[in-house]
Amino acid sequence: MLLAVLSGFLIAAVAPWVHRGLGRHSGWALAALPAVLFIYFASFLPALREADGGRIIMEYDWIPSLGIQLTFLVDGLSLLFALLISGIGFFVVAYAGRYLEGHRDLGRFYVLILAFMASMLGLVLSSNLISLFVFWELTSITSYLLIGYNHEDAKARKSALQGLFVTVAGGLALLTGLVMMALVGGSYELHELLTSGDIFREHDWYLAILLLVLLGCFTKSAQYPFHFWLPNAMAAPTPVSAYLHSATMVKAGVYLMARLNPSLGGTEAWMLLLGLFGAVTMFVGIFLSLRSTGVKQVLAYSTVMALGTLTMLIGVGTETAMLAAMAFLLAHSLYKGALFLVAGILDHEAGCKDFLQTGGLRRALPVTTVFAGLAALSLAGVLPMFGFVAKELLFEAVLEAPALAGLFSVLAVISAVMVVAVAAIVGIRPWYGPRADTPKVPAHEAPPALLAGPVVLASLGLLFGLGAGLVDQGLIAWAAAAVYGAPVSPYLSLWHGFNLPLLLSGVSLALGLLLYLNWERFRRVTGFMEVVNRYGPEAAYEKTMAGMVWLSEWQTRVLQNGYLRYYLLTILISTVGLVMVTLLTRTDVHIDLDLSGILVHEAFIVAVLLMAALVSVTTRSRLGAVASLGVVGFCVALIYVLFSAADVGITQVLVETLTVIMLVLVLFRLPGFLGLTPMVLRVRDAIIALAVGAMMAVLKLAASTTQYADSISAYFIQESQPSGYGRNIVNVILVDFRALDTLGEIVVLALAAVGVYAMIKFRAEDRRR
């Protein structure tokens, strides 16, 4: 299983060379991988029936020290997705080989699409929340790269970025939600969390977890109001649209909602949030679809409709709803995959990107016409296609919904009417009627690599419809059981007799066809939507992005102002504030103001030191400042000597002498002090400086009464003579115990010397020039 998931990444790594070696046949060659994976996953079908609880778990160690395992969970739901991903993946890779033939970046395309497929497989098969999230983000990133595949096109880049921002922002929320789930449930393993639903539903964090997880799912699955990135993502090459944006990636959110239904589902909040957002998305999606005329736009918005429908069904949460959701998912993947591939053929052979340009292509593209029609029939939900089975179940589920059944049913029927109209636009408009002037005149029927996908996927839509019961027992019921959290009895059938759902189905067909005949009038009447769009979610997204740029510009201007003293002020004020607050509120400091035991000469030295420091700060004469600086240094040296640090004292005297000489030599080539700062600012700086000084004094006093650990000096004192053969312990430490530190010190000095030398040398050369 590990190999199956990771093989996509492995093959992706060598795909460019395969492409270079095999040339135009590389598409078929690389498509072998998804084909093999499909067979591998299909081989799980019989085992699933025997497995305990309908699930198989496989564990591999990943980061053992952190307890992170790569666990894979195979049940009806993950298997349904895995089969769709690998199955449609096969046709898409083969199709891309031909569709993008001669494109100079085709090798890169294979890398991305295979890596995407592997990420998607990892996502649906992962049982560990962390690895699930990693794969989740990988799909976002590969999708970003695929949308921006034509990276020279500014619009493609912008759409790619939009998709990335929306899905990754949701991903962040999702990560928080998943970690909270793991904390509540006490495990990162899905197969353990799924059986402990009540823990979540009764926990205080339930609503927070639910909102965070749903934010991730809604952005990924383009639910209203996050739907806008999906149609824009159509900037990607058509095979990508067919694969990512209809059959797989956008369903990741749906997958996760379905997956977590046994843990988080079943509450009123779950039902209302999913049901309402789903129903609104369904309606808005199909409405916008019918308003569009671009081939891919129409299909993309109808995908939004499908995602909304799935979300709504998961929200409804009954046994029938789960069956309906899984059947609808399968039906949608089949017909939408086929239709997107047909859209690619329209573009490739006739140069049409807009339905208004098309018409009468049935003579030039007879095979495409037939199978586009077949897929459109499934989309419309006409007997005996699988789409019909799904649609009937959908009606039945919403009619029986435990809450808001009326609202859901009305929206579902209205949407179904518009879906039929969209299906007619896709299935009739380009092929029949008078021959339109297409940008390119199709010379021949599309080649086999392009036709394979539509033919097989559309035919499966018909076969599954005829054998609905078999599909149900084979997979759909198992998938529904995984979502429902309990066994589900197979129910799918092509014919359930004359009932309300069938009546609604018939009504929607008739009204839909009527709507199709009045398509132009519909678009004209709903022209006011353009105005609404200007204030819609996409405009909000644009505003947010512009606002973020403005905010970062503003804070850069304020914080990165280029004045050293403001940087210092910022640092100092924050330090003083934070340290003092912590010291006063968090710790039990004890300050011992013991002024006894001071000898007269010591007090004198300290007084001179402080006076000298004050003079160096206040004097307007440079010589005075440097001289008093020297006095400070020598006083410090005296303190070292008085308190048993002879070596330090000697060094300080030497260094201080050198410092004064150097300052006198160099600084006197610079101009004298100018009174640059007004009095007010000087007082402000003095206050801040005194605050820092006071903080250091208080810290010192507080620290001298606290000792957290024993000094390590005892070891050095004891071992200096026996191990280091030296009687001056300080020297032994420097050259023996801590010799590496001293080496570092020498390196610093050498670097400084090189720097000083270089600057003096270059100046001499500048002068000569």
Partner 1 sequence: METLMAFTVGGLFAAAIYMMLRRSIVKLVIGLVLLSNAANLLLFTQAGLLRGAPPLVPEGAMQPAGVVADPLAQALILTAIVIGFGVLAFAVVLIHRAYEVVQADDMDQMKDTDT
Identify which range of 11-19, 429-437, 548-556, 712-720 contacts partner 1 by CB under 8 A: 712-720
| Burial (CB count within 10 angstroms: exposed 0-12, middle 13-18, buried 19+), residue 556 | exposed
State the Cα–Cα distance between residues 479 and 48, nearest whole angstrom: 11
Per CB under 8 A, contacts with partner 1 among 414-433 are none
Q: Determine which helix (DSSP H) or strand (DSSP E) holds 71, and give its type and residue range.
A: strand 68-75
Question: Could you tell me the smallest distance in angstroms from the CB atom of residue 576 to partner 1?
Answer: 10
713 lies in the site for partner 1, by CB under 8 A:
yes
Binding pattern to partner 1, positions 657-696, x when CB under 8 A?
-xx--xx--xx-xxx-xx-xx-------xx-xxx-xxxxx
Question: Could you tell me the smallest distance in angstroms from the CB atom of residue 619 to partner 1?
Answer: 10
Contact criterion met (CB below 8 Å) for 339 and 355:
no
Angle at 464 between CA 462 and CA 466, to 5 degrees: 70
600 lies in the site for partner 1, by CB under 8 A:
no
Q: How far is CA 154 from the centre of its chain?
A: 22
Nearest to 278 by CA among 417, 382, 398: 398
Nearer to partner 1, 269 or 580 (CB): 580
Exactly one of 597, 600, 764, 768 binds partner 1 (CB under 8 A); which one? 597
Contact criterion met (CB below 8 Å) for 71 and 53:
no
Tell me the C-alpha to C-alpha distance, in Å, between residue 762 and each of 662, 666, 749, 759.
19, 16, 20, 5
Identify which range of 119-127, 374-382, 423-431, 654-662 contacts partner 1 by CB under 8 A: 654-662
State the Cα–Cα distance between residues 402 and 407, nearest whole angstrom: 12
Exactly one of 52, 437, 592, 710 binds partner 1 (CB under 8 A); which one? 592
Nearer to partner 1, 550 or 715 (CB): 715
State the Cα–Cα distance between residues 725 and 736, nearest whole angstrom: 10
- Give the chain's end-to-end CA distance (angstroms, integer): 72
Both tokens assigned to 649: 């004292």
Per CB under 8 A, contacts with partner 1 among 561-590 are 562-565, 568-569, 572
State the Cα–Cα distance between residues 249 and 122, nearest whole angstrom: 12
Per CB under 8 A, contacts with partner 1 among 536-565 are 562-565
505 CB contacts (<8 Å, ≥6 apart)?
Answer: 381, 388, 391, 392, 395, 416
User: Contacts with partner 1: how many residues (CB under 8 A)?
Assistant: 99
State the Cα–Cα distance between residues 151 and 320, nearest whole angstrom: 45
Nearer to partner 1, 410 or 703 (CB): 703
700 lies in the site for partner 1, by CB under 8 A:
yes
State the Cα–Cα distance between residues 426 and 292, nearest whole angstrom: 12
Identify which range of 77-85, 140-148, 166-174, 639-647 contacts partner 1 by CB under 8 A: 639-647
Both tokens assigned to 221: 């699955």
**How crowded is the C-beta side of 395, counted as CA atoms within 13 Å?**
22
511 lies in the site for partner 1, by CB under 8 A:
no
Nearer to partner 1, 554 or 762 (CB): 762
Per CB under 8 A, contacts with partner 1 among 315-354 are none
* Maximum Cα–Cα distance across the chain: 114
Both tokens assigned to 132: 């699930």
629 lies in the site for partner 1, by CB under 8 A:
yes
| Burial (CB count within 10 angstroms: exposed 0-12, middle 13-18, buried 19+), residue 760 | exposed
Identify which range of 171-179, 208-216, 513-521, 743-751 contacts partner 1 by CB under 8 A: 743-751
The one-letter code for the residue type at 385 is M
Question: Could you tell me the smallest distance in angstroms from the CB atom of residue 627 to partner 1?
Answer: 11
Exactly one of 103, 157, 201, 738 binds partner 1 (CB under 8 A); which one? 738
Question: Could you tell me the smallest distance in angstroms from the CB atom of residue 759 to partner 1?
Answer: 5
617 lies in the site for partner 1, by CB under 8 A:
yes
Exactly one of 47, 211, 703, 739 binds partner 1 (CB under 8 A); which one? 703
Identify which range of 350-358, 423-431, 504-512, 739-747 contacts partner 1 by CB under 8 A: 739-747
Nearer to partner 1, 72 or 716 (CB): 716
Nearer to partner 1, 510 or 686 (CB): 686
Exactly one of 58, 510, 642, 739 binds partner 1 (CB under 8 A); which one? 642
646 lies in the site for partner 1, by CB under 8 A:
yes
E runs forming strands in 238-324: none
Question: Could you tell me the smallest distance in angstroms from the CB atom of residue 744 to partner 1?
Answer: 9
